[in-house]
Structure 1
């Protein structure tokens, strides 16, 4: 699982480095898929997503508005779920092009809320339900809405649904490390833009 996570995080960095202003979102998605294949990963159990600008507010199950072009000052995020052998990877992160401070703060806050919630889970033994209630509070403190259409999930050898089909936000037990994905999708309260960060639930030692 850790090897799959490591390859997923590296792929996110590689994809982000190739995203440039003027790209059409659909072309960025095609590029991201090729990056995964070139890294020896298998396109897996949910679509490869790169979302630009106004598409960053949409729930993941809702299709992007077609033809959106990345601007000189803009925000985008990546959401991938490749397989490394039999093992599921899943990860995402937001990035900013140019010098738009509000976009930059949204991207920073998505990761900050993720880590605040992850630490609360690690230190307090929070259930999945309590973990997302905590994340919701942290998002609101920062002036954002938390999208509960992205409620986290189990990961494992593929397919994880054979082990557990429910979401992390509905899990009433304490989730185990290295087995669950925490998803944080922040949205501007007026629906202008959003940012996303997701990774595996792990303690601080994996984030040094």
Structure 2
């Protein structure tokens, strides 16, 4: 999953100031960061969220969430599905609901498409084959876990304080210079959905869920 560092910080977002505090420093900062290559890829594959006006203001979190929910860009839409599916509680029912929401969803296809966006713009830190294997492993572990476990436990940990000190990503040739069109790297189904939560899992905690997928 090429975007996991961005993704991890978006997993626990809420419609509150807590959302602002979970954003990585590289995304909250208005000034240029020492990661020009990473910033370029973010602008190409998250063109809506890369708008700095979405990082400020009292309703910035709501604006970002709405953009992700309706975005035609796979990287952004993937983040939204995970946000919508993420468990709000810590009981087995909460994680079962999370599993039912994630596993049959479009997440895995979107993650592959997100990888293709990165690769189309010259990303060299991973190959398509390596990314496919990573996505497949994550899907298998999440969807076959017995007992179910938190999805966030399956992702690498990232220290926000190190966001500006880690090495920049490697870039090669950009096949579509400064072009963000999804059609350059993805021509599949655009009816992206989350899975349905059914049975006992409907009793999961929903207190902090902004969008339901019941």
Output the TM-score relative to the length of structure 1. 0.32
Q: Tell me which protein shows more strand as a share of its residues.
A: 1
Output the TM-score relative to the length of structure 2. 0.31
Higher relative contact order (CA 8 A, sep 6+): 2
